[in-house]
Amino acid sequence: MSRIFATSIVARHSIAENSVEVVFDRPPGFEYRSGQYIQLGLRSLLHRDAKGPSRVLSVSTSPHDTATVAVAFRESDSGFKRTLRQLAPGSEVLIEGPHGFYTLPRELTRPLVLVAGGIGVVPYVSMLRYLTEWGIRIPVPMTLLYANGTIERAAYLDELRKTATRAPGFVLRHRIGLIDRNFLERNVHDPRGCAWHVSGPPAMVCHVRNLLFHLRVDEARICYEEFSGY
Ligand SMILES: Cc1cc2nc3c(=O)[nH]c(=O)nc-3n(C[C@H](O)[C@H](O)[C@H](O)COP(=O)(O)OP(=O)(O)OC[C@H]3O[C@@H](n4cnc5c(N)ncnc54)[C@H](O)[C@@H]3O)c2cc1C
């Protein structure tokens, strides 16, 4: 159930060029599933922002992590993000949530393909942390197809590469540039037999949706998360 929680900033670190993860104390009672998002609110803005003092952001931590909860985003000149970059550890923020249904299927019965454009990788980072932190065996083959404009902007790439070497059943395929049909066909041998998650900026999600349509993947097997605002 969605509620509003007051909490404070613990840390902030770079996860790629122009990309930041901000970590908060996990408020007691804040329960979520990997893949869900929150509305993050700032008490006051240091810079004007026409969209106001809050944004919708996916959670990057694992629900197993009882101490902290984190979000990650691309930096921009919006008043919200400029303020969030400047707030000192200890500053109070508001978390409203959790929201969304972009979670792992409760029953994993077929190979799962996760497709991420840029910062759209955040929900998958939470899912993979959740599955691997406690040594849970990934129950079905899982492939992450991850695309970025440049290698420098590939958030969490080192962590994902380490996960791929440690977690049997998990394969990472990273690409510089757009996800195209050739990339899908090279890395997914039976597209119609898989369950699909597609996450990223709306234009990227729309593009991959068209590719899957042409590969005749059943719409019922595809989940989408559009990071509107990009
Ligand atoms: C379900 C869902 C999950 C999401 N998860 C994430 C996530 O995990 N991470 C993430 O990063 N985003 C996520 N988003 C998108 C997020 O909510 C924001 O819309 C997005 O991060 C852009 O916010 P912004 O503050 O940078 O840009 P906006 O304020 O929306 O501005 C748009 C653009 O205008 C420019 N701009 C704005 N104000 C100024 C100014 N004063 N001067 C100059 N330029 C300006 C900014 O640089 C930006 O590029 C999610 C969205 C949804 C719907």
Cis amide prior to 53 (ω within 30 degrees): no
Global pTM reads 0.96
118 pLDDT band, cuts 50/70/90, is: very high
* Domain shared by 120 and 90, yes or no: no
Q: How far is the CA of 23 from the centre of ligand 1 (A)?
A: 18
Q: How far is the CA of 22 from the centre of ligand 1 (A)?
A: 15
- Beta carbon of 156 within 6 Å of any ligand 1 atom: no
Any idea what the CATH number is for the domain that residue 217 is in?
3.40.50.80
* Mutate-to-test residue for ligand 1 from 51, 73, 84, highest number of ligand atoms within 8 A of CB: 73
Q: Which of 99, 132, 150 is the last residue of a domain?
A: 99
Residue keyed to tokens 């890395």: 187
* Domain shared by 141 and 222, yes or no: yes
Assess whether pLDDT exceeds 90 at residue 229.
no
Amino acid at 27: P
75 CB-contact burial (10 Å; exposed 0-12 / middle 13-18 / buried 19+): middle
Q: How far is the CA of 198 from the centre of ligand 1 (A)?
A: 19
* Domain shared by 94 and 127, yes or no: no
Share of the chain above pLDDT 90, in %: 91
- What would the pLDDT profile of 133-161 be if each residue is shown by its tens digit? 877 778 899 999 999 999 999 999 999 99
- What would the pLDDT profile of 203-228 be if each residue is shown by its tens digit? 999 999 999 999 999 999 999 999 99
* Domain shared by 93 and 53, yes or no: yes
In sign, the C-alpha dihedral spanning 155, 158, 163, 169 is positive
In a domain, 104, yes or no: no
Residue nearest to atom 39 of ligand 1 (CA): 78
